[in-house]
C-alpha cells in the first residue's frame, strides 16, 4: 500500500478504523522530511496491512497544532486507535522496521489496562 494523505477531515476516522496507522508529519521545505520520505514509502510497500499516512504540516496547520507537532519530521504510531509511539526526527529504514515489529507485538490488553490505571490515579 502506498502512503495516503491525511487531513483534518480524515485523520480521526483513519486512526480509529484501522489496526495500525503510522503518520508522518512533514513539510516540503524540510530537508530531513525529504530524506525520510523514501524510507517511509518503502516501508509502506513492504507492510501492506498497515496504513501509512502523511500530514503536510503547512497545508494542515490545524491538525499539526492539535497533534502538538513542534518539529518535523515527527512520526506517530497508533494501534487500535491508541497512540503508542511519537518521535521527532527521521528514522533509518532498520529502525522503522524494528518499530513496526514492536508495534505488531504490543499486548494491547496490557496497554489498555495501563491507560485505565493511569486514568484512575488522576481521578
Catalytic residue among 30, 63, 90, 103: 30
Length of the chain, in residues: 123
Sign of the torsion angle spanned by Cα atoms 7, 30, 75, 51: positive
Does the annotation mark 30 as catalytic?
yes
**Cβ–Cβ under 8 Å, residues 25 and 53:** no
Catalytic residue among 15, 21, 33, 69: 33
Does the annotation mark 88 as catalytic?
no
Give CA–CA dist 22/79, Å, rounded: 9
Catalytic residue positions?
Answer: 30, 33
Amino acid at each position: 500500500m502506498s502512503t495516503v494523505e491525511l487531513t483534518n477531515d480524515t485523520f480521526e476516522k483513519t486512526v480509529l478504523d484501522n489496526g495500525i496507522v503510522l503518520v508522518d508529519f512533514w513539510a516540503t521545505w524540510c530537508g530531513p522530511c525529504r530524506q525520510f520520505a523514501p524510507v517511509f514509502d518503502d516501508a509502506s510497500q513492504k507492510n501492506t496491512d498497515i496504513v501509512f499516512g502523511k500530514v503536510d504540516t503547512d497545508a494542515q496547520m490545524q491538525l499539526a497544532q492539535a497533534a502538538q507537532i513542534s518539529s518535523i519530521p515527527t512520526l506517530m504510531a497508533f494501534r487500535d486507535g491508541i497512540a503508542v509511539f511519537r518521535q521527532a526526527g527521521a528514522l533509518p529504514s532498520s529502525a522503522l522496521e524494528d518499530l513496526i515489529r514492536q508495534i505488531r507485538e504490543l499486548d494491547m490488553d496490557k496497554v489498555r489496562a495501563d491507560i485505565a490505571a493511569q486514568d484512575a490515579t488522576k481521578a
